[in-house]
Amino acid sequence: MTADIVDFYLNTPLPRPEYMKVNCKFIPPDIMAEFSLDSYVDDGSVLFEVTKGVHGLPQAGLLAQQRLV
């Protein structure tokens, strides 16, 4: 039996929240409207709280490995 865990780290809970600032030009208008993000725009960006592993987060791989073992 085999299992594909290539994206396992994407749902790994973080020990403490991280924060990510995303420029509005990278967020499609339909997503801005769907989630009412216009009220959260500050200086052309939106600040997000990240509570689980995401692409580009350096510690996500290590946390997933520790959780897997």
Distance of CA 19 to the CA centre of its chain: 9
Q: What is the pLDDT of residues 7-59, one digit of tens each?
A: 666 777 888 998 999 999 999 999 999 999 999 999 999 999 988 877 777 77
pLDDT at 64: 73
Q: Name the token pair of 32.
A: 């801005």
Contacting residues for 4 by C-beta, under 8 A, at least 6 apart: none
Q: What predicted TM-score, i.e. pTM, was given to this entire model?
A: 0.66
Residue 68, amino acid: L
pLDDT at 59: 76
Residue 6: pLDDT band by 50, 70, 90 thresholds? Answer: low
